[in-house]
Amino acid sequence: MINKSKHRVYYVFSILAIVILTLGISTGHVFASGFNDDAQIGMAYSEAVATMTEKGVLAGFPDGSFRPQGTLTREQAAKIVAYILLGSEKADGLSCSTKPFIDVEVTRWSAPYIAWCCDRGILNGYGNGLFGPSDELTGVQFAKMLLCAFFGDAGGRYTGAGWADSVEEDGYQHGLFTGDFNMCSNLPLQRQQAALMVYNAEHEETNVDALGADQSHDEQGQTVDTNEQDLNMSVDEQILSPSTEEQDYDLAPQPQEIPSDGSLDPFEGDEV
């Protein structure tokens, strides 16, 4: 009886040890995405990176890395938004017969995504016929894109002298910066931050949809019509353009592996 009791005790402790070990391991990068630099992905971004890469919205590089601290460009942002709203198959089926900007040839890998987003007021050029496809995108600029893509242009709040303040206010309201408030800045946006911001926008939209597309509730619990804006509402040329407020920081083209003719898609060529 004593030996059996001891065996039972050992058995119980063995099970507990396995459980504790498993839990200990799982407290690391629970949502690791299989990249060889997973350890460099911050815990705040891990689930978002795993989700966005699983959907194909973001991709890794041929060397097996994700490069979470890498930056996001304007043309990459256009593809991300198109993938999120249309799905990868439909987005990849987009075409462009006329170059949307002087510096965006129809043969450029990103031309269809840029043209599609611009047609829907999600982003625009600099107002001088240029788009700057390889320019780095800042956190507040990407937030502006996502607000327009998921929630509409808020009646033109994201244009004019106070556009950045409006984006910051609405971005916090919609939870875009949840997990990393530093994303609301004029600094270039990291790839892991872009994943988190899109992840937050998708989840916020899901919560809004659960209440009904065109309805909300007042303080007395009565259903009221909020006249939610169509995602295709246009905005003026200042979307993602360097207004007077944006010119305090550098939007120099990113020194990355993109040929001068723009024929290489970082998602399809340098990234897998």
The crossing angle, in degrees rounded to 10, of helices 74-86 and 139-151 is: 20
The predicted model scores a pTM of 0.66
| Rounded alpha-carbon distances, angstroms, from residue 31 to 25, 43, 99, 192, 206 | 12, 9, 40, 13, 21
Q: How far apart are the first and last CA of the chain?
A: 61
How far is residue 219's CA from residue 263's CA, in Å, rounded to a whole number? 54
Tens of pLDDT, residue by residue over 198-248, are: 999 998 865 544 434 343 333 333 333 433 333 333 333 333 333 333 333
Burial (CB count <10 Å: 0-12, 13-18, 19+), residue 84? buried
Classify 28 in phi/psi space as left (phi over 0), alpha (psi -120 to 50) or beta: beta
Tens of pLDDT, residue by residue over 83-101, are: 999 999 999 999 999 999 9
Q: Which two tokens stand for residue 36?
A: 């060889």
Tens of pLDDT, residue by residue over 144-158, are: 999 999 998 887 888
How far is residue 75's CA from residue 212's CA, in Å, rounded to a whole number? 33
Tens of pLDDT, residue by residue over 11-63, are: 544 455 444 444 433 344 445 568 999 999 999 999 999 999 999 999 999 99
How far is residue 232's CA from residue 117's CA, in Å, rounded to a whole number? 9
The answer to whether the beta carbons of residues 240 and 141 sit under 8 Å apart is yes
